[in-house]
Amino acid sequence: MRELVERRLVDGRVRNEDGGRRVQVNLRESPLDWLRSRALVDARQYEAGERLRGDYERAALGLRVTMRWDAAPRGSAGVPADPSGGQLAAKARFDAAIAAVGPGLADILWRTVCANEGLPAAEKALGWPARAGRLVLTLALDRLAGHYRLR
């Protein structure tokens, strides 16, 4: 059975009820959403993970499997805008966040939050014992929330 929730989204980010379009999100699609739905990560950790994933996706660091069919973004004068500026800024934010988390914790954070790899698969790929990933992931999310200065 799929767990579906409705969220308000604007530009792919979760927003308040004051605007945006309604979409349904499958909570089993993202390991971070799955952990949040079971209260295994708190709101601060979840927000930190979502910020990291947002920068990862804005920087277009993921693999592209199809051609882009969207129109070129337009600037204020109707001239095509250069999208690389936003991508470069997002990449810089992503790199700074990963560096702040540290090399020991960044692996599990990237695998679960950015690559949407489940915890059991990430633990196996990293050679960790079963159920060690959640503890290390929560430590990584706490450090990431500190980097983002979330309360």
Evaluate whether 117 touches 31 at the Cβ level (below 8 Å).
yes
pLDDT of res. 29: 74
Rounded average pLDDT over 119-145: 95
**C-alpha angle 52-57-61 in degrees, rounded to nearest 5:** 100
The pLDDT tens digits of the residues spanning 81-128 come to 555 677 888 999 999 999 999 998 999 999 999 999 999 999 999 999
Is the pLDDT assigned to residue 146 strictly greater than 80?
yes
The pLDDT tens digits of the residues spanning 39-72 come to 999 999 999 999 999 999 888 765 556 666 666 6
Rounded average pLDDT over 20-39: 75
Burial of 135 (0-12, 13-18, 19+ CB in 10 A): exposed
Q: What angle, rounded to 10 degrees, do the helices at 119-126 and 133-147 form?
A: 100
pLDDT of res. 70: 64
pLDDT of res. 8: 42
pLDDT of res. 3: 44
pLDDT of res. 141: 97
The structure tokens 């690559």 sit at 115
Q: pTM for the complete prediction?
A: 0.71
Phi, psi of 47 (to 5 degrees): -60, -40
DSSP class of residue 70?
A: S
The pLDDT tens digits of the residues spanning 67-86 come to 666 666 566 666 555 556 77
